């Protein structure tokens, strides 16, 4: 969804930062071992995203979100959906623009927004301990309320999956739950994914091209 806006994809060569893979940095263990390194990476990403704007695909999704009965679930943490005006957004992996207390003090456990760039190892405003990005890292569980909201959204007539690798669960399982409810399922992606053979229609193409074309047909 956000590649056309200039946000690097999470996987692949463009997902590398220095010599590190995202999977090597987005873990509680990496943060505990070297919080400065992890924050350098997140600060680089935040500064990059701060200069990005929603693309045509975000605009279509935002317009659709205003229709009654529509739910939008995202694994992206860049908040470009919100910038485009998407309503009722379910952010199952959190937001790179929100922080929480690494020590999980009672007040700091609830994420707060911080749009500052650059941002160098911020502290919890409640207890003074180091803050962390309020995103879901590898090895961590999704928030129960987000999982419940996403699961409820699969009880639908049409389920569309856009620009996801379809390999990260539980998000990758939502398309199958929707099929189980009898939904018409479609995938839009640049290349085939594990979900391609399971959906009713698989369209290979860029989201910023395909979604406006679908919207025009509607």
CATH number assigned to the domain covering 3-100+140-217:
3.40.50.1220
State residue 17's pLDDT score: 76
CA distance 164 to 144: 21
Span 132-144, mean pLDDT? 95
For residue range 100-118, list pLDDT tens digits in order: 999 999 999 999 999 999 9
Residue 130: strand pairing partners:
123
Please determine, for residue 147, whether its predicted confidence score (pLDDT) is greater than 80.
yes
- One of 68, 81, 93, 176 is an active-site residue; which one? 93
Please determine, for residue 13, whether its predicted confidence score (pLDDT) is greater than 60.
no
Please determine, for residue 36, whether its predicted confidence score (pLDDT) is greater than 90.
yes
Annotation says 93 is catalytic: yes
Please determine, for residue 171, whether its predicted confidence score (pLDDT) is greater than 90.
no
Report the SS3 class of residue 130: strand
Nearest of 126, 139, 80, 138 to residue 100 by alpha carbon: 126
Nearby residues of 157 by Cβ (< 8 Å), 6 or more positions away: 183, 184
Nearest of 8, 9, 10, 3 to residue 137 by alpha carbon: 10
For residue range 39-59, list pLDDT tens digits in order: 999 999 999 999 999 999 999
State residue 167's pLDDT score: 80
């Amino acid at each position: 969804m956000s590649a056309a806006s200039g946000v690097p994809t999470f996987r692949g060569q463009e997902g590398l930062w220095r010599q590190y893979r995202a999977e090597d940095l987005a873990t509680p263990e990496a943060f505990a071992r070297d919080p400065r390194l992890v924050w350098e990476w997140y600060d680089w990403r935040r500064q990059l995203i701060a200069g990005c704007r929603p693309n045509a695909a975000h605009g279509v999704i935002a317009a659709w979100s205003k229709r009654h009965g529509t739910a939008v679930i995202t694994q992206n943490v860049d908040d470009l959906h919100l910038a485009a005006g998407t309503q009722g957004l379910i952010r199952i992996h959190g937001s790179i623009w929100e922080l929480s207390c690494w020590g999980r003090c009672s007040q700091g456990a609830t994420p707060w927004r911080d749009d500052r760039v650059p941002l160098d190892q911020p502290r919890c405003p409640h207890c003074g301990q180091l803050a962390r990005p309020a995103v879901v890292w590898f090895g961590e569980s999704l928030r129960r309320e987000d999982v419940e909201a996403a699961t409820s959204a699969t009880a639908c007539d049409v389920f569309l999956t856009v620009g996801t690798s379809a390999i990260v669960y539980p998000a990758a399982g939502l398309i199958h739950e929707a099929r189980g409810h009898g939904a018409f399922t479609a995938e839009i992606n640049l290349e085939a994914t594990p979900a391609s053979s399971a959906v009713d229609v698989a369209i290979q193409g860029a989201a910023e091209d395909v979604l406006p074309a679908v919207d025009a047909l509607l």
